[in-house]
């Protein structure tokens, strides 16, 4: 079979089309996988009620609960309204 310029162009255009379709399929698979992984990560970030209660109990002495996550509990300290230079009324009596 003789190779003509027309046959070469048909072969290269088919190869380009096959590459484009293959690249599109790979991109679709990657996007789907990343979406599924993102959903799993978002679902596993939830904090159960027991963790929240434990954090609230541990923050009662130092102040209010500021934030809680699966990995940490942060308490917000209550700022003392009295100045360090003013004597407390309990101490002066």
| Strand positions, DSSP E, the chain | 63-68, 73-77
Segment 68-84, tens digit of pLDDT: 887 888 888 766 555 55
pTM of the entire predicted model = 0.45
User: What's the mean pLDDT when you consider all of the chain?
Assistant: 79
Would you give per-residue pLDDT tens digits along the chain (93 residues)? Answer: 455 656 566 678 888 999 999 999 999 999 999 999 998 888 777 788 888 888 888 888 777 888 888 788 888 876 655 555 656 555 555
Spatial CB neighbours of 12, under 8 Å, sequence gap ≥ 6: none
């Amino acid at each position: 079979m003789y190779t003509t310029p027309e046959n070469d162009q048909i072969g290269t255009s088919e190869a380009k089309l096959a590459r484009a379709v293959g690249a599109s399929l790979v991109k679709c698979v990657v996007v789907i996988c990343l979406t599924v992984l993102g959903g799993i990560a978002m679902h596993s970030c939830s904090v159960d009620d027991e963790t929240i209660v434990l954090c609230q109990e541990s923050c009662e002495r130092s102040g209010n609960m500021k934030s809680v996550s699966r990995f940490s509990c942060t308490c917000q300290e209550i700022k003392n309204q009295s100045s360090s230079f003013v004597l407390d009324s309990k101490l002066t009596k």
